[in-house]
Each structure stands twice: as structure tokens, then as C-alpha cells.
């Protein structure tokens, strides 16, 4: 695991061909009735972050399907936080979070060679020339993540929890030790921190290996894995649901991509 210079990011992204690389509401509160939402920040900061005129045009085109303001308010991202964006992809959420946490906060955008190959030059274009000064790039290959104890206020896994069960050694994605990975997240999260998870629904009872085929996951697996790692489900939200998705297709099916039925969960450390 290492911090990666943006120049090297650009070189890696250019060298990789994404065309040849595969993919690595209302709120339901499950907490105590008297417990408040995690974010004390005004709702306007989320809308303002999304409306920031410096955001890329292609990001804006995704906003209606992703509802980033609702997502980040639900997770509880606030100014001044240190936020870990795991498997940050092209950095869509990283940039919006950076706008929210501001100059007094920072975002750690974790990536690896497989993800860099998948997103092509998007990562370098977003972060090059110190475009987002409060973002740190963390290069950590599968099973090499190391976090300082209690060093982050929030962790995000957006459309990537299913990748914990993906295996493709040829494309640089070896099998992940899921308990060890989640234990590292638990170690790195501060006692009052939150973990936000979004992913594509798989049918109830689907095996974890569905993450390696249709790139979906049964939310019951996520909840069980997180419980085993010392987390408790605090709340769920349904603003990314799509009843027209029958779970039979890959999330990369052109007619479905970006419009899958998705669950949104917020976890905290167990008492």
C-alpha cells in the first residue's frame, strides 16, 4: 500500500486500456427511536456541493440516477471530516465529498491497478494538476489495505461491496480476505464514525459469488458480514430503489446500467 503521485496515476491510466478490462426515498431507521440522524450539517451543504460549477459535465449527467445529495446527507458527511472512499472508481463521489468536507477536511480516495484500468483516464483527469487539493490518493491492492487506528470519520463503499467476492487474477483482482478487509475498516474508523454502503440488489438467498457474475449482492450478506466485523446496521434508505429491475441481468447490461435497484445502508461500530 502506498500513496500515489498524480503523475504516476496519469501514466498508469494511460497505459491501461479500459476496453479490455472488466469491472472489478424514505429512510428506514433501525437505531434507537431517540437517536438523531448522524449529520448535524444543514441540508443546503449537500445541494451546494452537487451544484458546484467546477464539477464535470459527465458527473452532472449521472446525478439524477445517483441522488448524491440524499446519499451523502444520509451517511452523515460533514465539513471538516476525514472520509475514506474505498474503491473510489473514477472519483464521482470523491469530488462531491471533497466539496462538502472543505479545506478543514480531507478525502482519501483508495484505488488499485485494476480499478485504474477499469476507469481509464477518468481518475487522472479528475485529480490531475492538484484540481482537488484536499484529496489524497491511496494505492492499495487487494489484501494490502492498512489504515491507522481510528483515523477516519466515515467510510464509503459505493457499488463495490460485491467486489469483495469478485475474483479475476488475470485482471489483477485476486480473492479478497473479506473478514480481514472489514477488520481493517473497523480499526480505521473512529468510535463515532459511520460506514455508508450502496450496492446493487441481488435476489434474496443469492450466493455471495453473484458478485462475480452479475455484480450484485444480497443485502443480507452485507449485513451479516458487517455484524461479524463488529458493526451494527443503523439505518437503511430506499431512495435508490427501482422496482423494474428483476435482478436477472448484469448491472452492466446497457438497458439497465445506472438504473439498477440499489440498497443504501449506514453502519456504526457496535457498542
Mean pLDDT, all residues of the chain: 88
CA 119/CA 16 separation, integer angstroms: 9
Quick: pLDDT tens for 136-182. 999 999 999 999 999 999 999 999 999 999 998 888 889 999 999 99
Q: Which three cell numbers stand for residue 57?
A: 459535465
In the prediction, which pLDDT does 17 show? 41
- What's the Cα-to-Cα distance from 261 to each of 133, 243, 253, rounded to whole Å? 34, 7, 13
Cα–Cα distance for residue pair 94/131, rounded to 1 Å: 12
For 242-251, write each residue's pLDDT tens digit.
999 999 999 9
Report the predicted TM-score, pTM, of the whole model to 2 decimal places.
Answer: 0.87
Q: Where are the beta strands (DSSP E) in the chain?
A: 2-3, 27-29, 82-86, 106-111, 135-139, 152-158, 189-200, 231-237, 262-269
In the chain, where does DSSP find H-type helix? 6-15, 44-50, 57-60, 63-66, 68-75, 92-101, 113-119, 122-127, 178-188, 219-228
9 has a pLDDT exceeding 70: no
Helix, strand or coil, per DSSP, at residue 122: helix
Cβ atoms 240, 263 nearer than 8 A: yes
pLDDT in tens, 189-246: 999 999 999 999 999 999 999 999 999 999 999 999 999 999 999 999 999 999 999 9
Alpha helices in 21-81 (DSSP H): 44-50, 57-60, 63-66, 68-75
Q: Residues 6 or more apart from 97 whose CB is under 8 A from it?
A: 49, 72, 77, 83, 85, 107, 156
CATH number belonging to domain 2-32+58-269: 3.40.50.150
Q: Which residue bears the cell 484529496?
A: 135
Domain locations along the chain: 2-32+58-269
- Is 148 strand, coil or helix? coil
Amino acid at each position: 500500500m502506498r500513496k500515489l503521485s498524480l503523475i504516476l496515476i496519469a501514466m498508469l491510466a494511460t497505459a491501461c486500456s479500459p476496453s479490455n478490462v472488466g469491472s472489478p426515498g424514505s429512510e428506514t431507521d433501525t437505531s434507537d427511536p431517540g437517536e438523531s440522524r448522524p449529520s448535524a450539517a444543514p441540508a443546503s451543504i449537500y445541494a451546494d456541493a452537487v451544484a458546484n460549477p467546477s464539477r464535470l459535465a459527465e458527473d452532472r449527467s449521472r446525478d439524477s440516477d445517483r441522488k448524491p445529495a440524499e446519499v451523502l446527507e444520509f451517511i452523515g458527511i460533514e465539513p471538516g471530516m476525514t472520509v475514506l472512499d474505498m474503491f473510489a472508481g473514477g472519483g464521482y463521489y470523491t469530488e462531491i465529498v471533497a466539496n462538502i468536507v472543505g479545506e478543514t477536511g480531507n478525502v482519501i480516495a483508495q484505488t488499485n491497478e485494476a480499478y485504474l484500468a477499469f476507469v481509464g483516464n477518468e481518475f487522472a483527469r479528475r485529480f490531475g494538476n492538484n484540481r482537488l487539493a484536499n484529496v489524497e490518493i491511496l494505492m492499495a491492492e487487494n489484501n494490502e489495505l492498512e489504515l491507522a487506528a481510528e483515523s477516519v470519520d466515515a467510510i464509503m463503499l459505493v457499488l463495490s461491496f460485491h467486489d469483495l467476492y469478485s475474483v479475476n487474477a488475470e485482471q489483477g483482482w485476486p480473492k479478497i480476505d473479506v473478514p480481514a478487509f472489514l477488520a481493517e475498516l473497523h480499526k480505521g474508523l473512529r468510535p463515532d464514525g459511520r460506514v455508508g454502503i450502496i450496492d446493487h440488489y441481488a435476489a434474496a438467498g443469492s450466493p455471495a459469488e453473484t458478485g462475480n457474475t452479475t455484480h450484485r449482492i444480497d443485502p443480507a450478506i452485507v449485513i451479516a458480514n458487517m455484524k461479524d466485523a463488529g458493526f451494527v446496521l443503523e439505518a437503511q434508505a430506499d431512495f435508490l430503489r427501482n422496482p423494474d429491475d428483476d435482478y436477472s441481468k448484469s448491472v452492466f447490461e446497457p438497458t439497465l446500467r445506472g438504473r439498477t435497484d440499489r440498497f443504501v445502508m449506514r453502519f456504526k461500530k457496535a457498542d
